A and B are shown apart, each in its own frame.
Chain A
Amino acid sequence: MAWTVLLSFKSNAALMADSGAAFAPPWTLENYAAILQGSLTLQWLANSLIVATGATIGVLVLSSLAGYGFARLEFPFRRSLFVIVLLGLAVPEQAVILPRHQLFAWAGLHNSYPGLILPSLTGSFGVFFMTQYFRAIPKELDEAALLDGASRFTLFWKVLLPLTWPAQATLGVFTFLAAWNDYWWPLISATTSDYFTLTVGLASAQMNYAQTSGLGFLMAQAVFASIPILVVYIAFQKQIVRAMAGTAVR
């Protein structure tokens, strides 16, 4: 990482001459300036934020509701449906990407935010994850709330959902990162540069022979694209660790 950061502050020309030059001045901001000068870079950044945030909110809402349903409600075919959700975990994106492309083309969803966000919402990991989390919450709490006169919705919204906060944070961070880093689907779905996400956009802006003649620029791109992710990680560090340790509900 230090290597990447250091290289990003060197001019392309200096690196062409001697890649070992990274450790010595002069350092320069010209690579970052070049990124921001790309007329669409800020648009791509905004696109990535919109897509990643949209995917995160969508996954959290759907997974929480579905997880609560699977964990707590009685309805026909509950077990079979849950098995189908589990099977969904085993389906790789590669297997569905062609039909999905066809479907989105038919629906006119390519080159749109919904087109970029919707595929993230179909993953079953979130549903599985939240179901397990809801199941771990003692049923006595539901019963206490029912005796306290809570409606089903009050029980979900005021008692159970707040207790899943650590899981929400973890799932949210993972979803955000996955959506942010996704390259393949935006590459397929967004064909006009207005709808490029940052990953696709930056890649499209790379010069030929970037690995050799544009090394500093390449590194600056990598650093630039990682900053939002670092922010997310640092902001939610505590929740992630706590959820991983599995001590959230006590």
Chain B
Amino acid sequence: MRLPLPGLDLIDVCKSYGDVPVLERVSLSVAPREFIAFLGPSGSGKSTLLRIIAGLETADSGEVWLDGERIDPLAPGARGIAMVFQHYALYPHMTVRENMAFGLVNAKVPKDEITRRIAQAADILEIGAQLDKKPGQMSGGQRQRVAIGRAIVKQPRLFLLDEPLSNLDAALRGRTRVELAQLRQRVDAALIMVTHDQAEAMTLADRIVILDNCCIQQVGTPAEVYARPANAFVARFVGSPPMAMLPGVIAGAEGGRVQVRLAEGMMLATAVPAGGLVAGTEIEVGLRPEHVRLAAPGTSGAAAEVELVERLGDRTFIYARLAGGAEIIALEPGFGTVRPGDAAALVIDGEAAHIFTAGGAAHHPEPRG
């Protein structure tokens, strides 16, 4: 048996709706003051997991511990948790001040203490002038701040944020992201954020928990999940555009490193250690766009046909199809001139390639020396 430590501990949490499993034996430890992002596609169970922690759903089995106390039998209001809802869930008939005070009044916090906490939170969130307005009179961004304020005044042990930025327009989202990062510095509690936006997860979280298919696929820092994805799902899910997957066969090893023959017949010398990979095994080669580029004019490369070009100003993504039919994505700096339909020669950095076996297990390249 594991000893629950300070912070949040999930132990073998299972949940299903009727016959449909949603979470299967999910275990996770979150350190105090850690910022965690639950990242996954729709239906991956990330929101359900958050709601189980909050007490809004009951797990079929498993335990939830917070700071050494088992909280899963407790009512939501007794867990010392505050949550910011996706649609804010502010009480429409109450003023901002009353919204923030509601939880404290229920907890029988003394009046002057309530006043003090609200003033402090309003100060942090710069909503002091709005305290007597009702939510209906405020913009989306302001409501978001009130929702965060309502969470802060409770001085919770754990903050839960359900898709906190999804209701904001692009400009406001960027600003709020910075504010969330600042908020994190000010509060003495762990934060868990559910998101399907990997940019949010990558920029805000200390660690990202990637969920899919009822299970945690990987837990790691943003750098880890990007550079060393635990399996093919994570490799495809993290990164925008995603990692390209090229079918191939292990051809052999040279210097202890795997050589791969791609479906095109092309040989690729990787930096993946050969241990455990037998020649003849069918695999997928994962390549990030930044490891594929257009060959300089007059030099040779893998022949491909350009299908789509995404120009972002500072860089250009080139979606191409190799002669053997596999899709690949290349990255060029600046505003590329290549056009859809063009024939292109691609230079593939084999030493950056990842190898995924049929079961989805990942083999990563050795770090460059």
Contact = CB atoms under 8 A, between A and B. Distances in A.
Contacts of B92: 163, 249-250
Contacts of A140: 85-87, 89
A149 B87 contact: no
Contact of B103 (A138, A143, A148, A163): A148
A141 B77 contact: no
B128 to A, nearest CB: 22
Interface string B55-79: 1100000000000000000011110
A145 B85 CA distance: 12
Contacts of A235: none
Most chain B CB within a 10 A radius of its CB, from A148, A149, A165, A250: A148
B76 A143 contact: yes
A138 B76 contact: no
B85 A149 contact: no
B89 A149 contact: no
B75 A145 contact: no
A146 B89 contact: no
B107 interface: yes
Interface string B82-109: 1101110111110000000011001100
A144 interface: yes
B136 A250 contact: yes
Contacts of B76: 143, 146-147
B54 interface: yes
A147 B83 contact: yes
Contact of A141 (B54, B82, B91, B107): B91
A147 to B, nearest CB: 5
Contact of B77 (A147, A163, A165, A250): A147
Interface residues of B, number: 25
B56 A150 contact: no
B81 interface: yes
A4 to B, nearest CB: 41
Given A140-B85, A144-B83, A150-B102, A162 B93 contact: yes
Nearest to A248: B92
Given A145-B102, A146-B75, A150-B102, A138 B87 contact: yes
A149 to B, nearest CB: 3
Contacts of A143: 54, 56, 76, 83, 85, 89
A138 B89 contact: yes
B139 to A, nearest CB: 14
Interface in B149-208: 150, 154
A241 interface: no
Nearest to A151: B106
Nearest to B106: A149
A149 B78 contact: yes
Contacts of A149: 75, 77-78, 103, 106-107
18 contacts: A140-B87, A144-B83, A144-B91, A145-B91, A145-B102, A146-B55, A146-B56, A146-B75, A146-B76, A147-B55, A147-B76, A147-B81, A147-B82, A147-B83, A148-B106, A149-B77, A162-B93, A250-B136
Interface of B: 54-56, 75-78, 81-83, 85-87, 89-93, 102-103, 106-107, 136, 150, 154
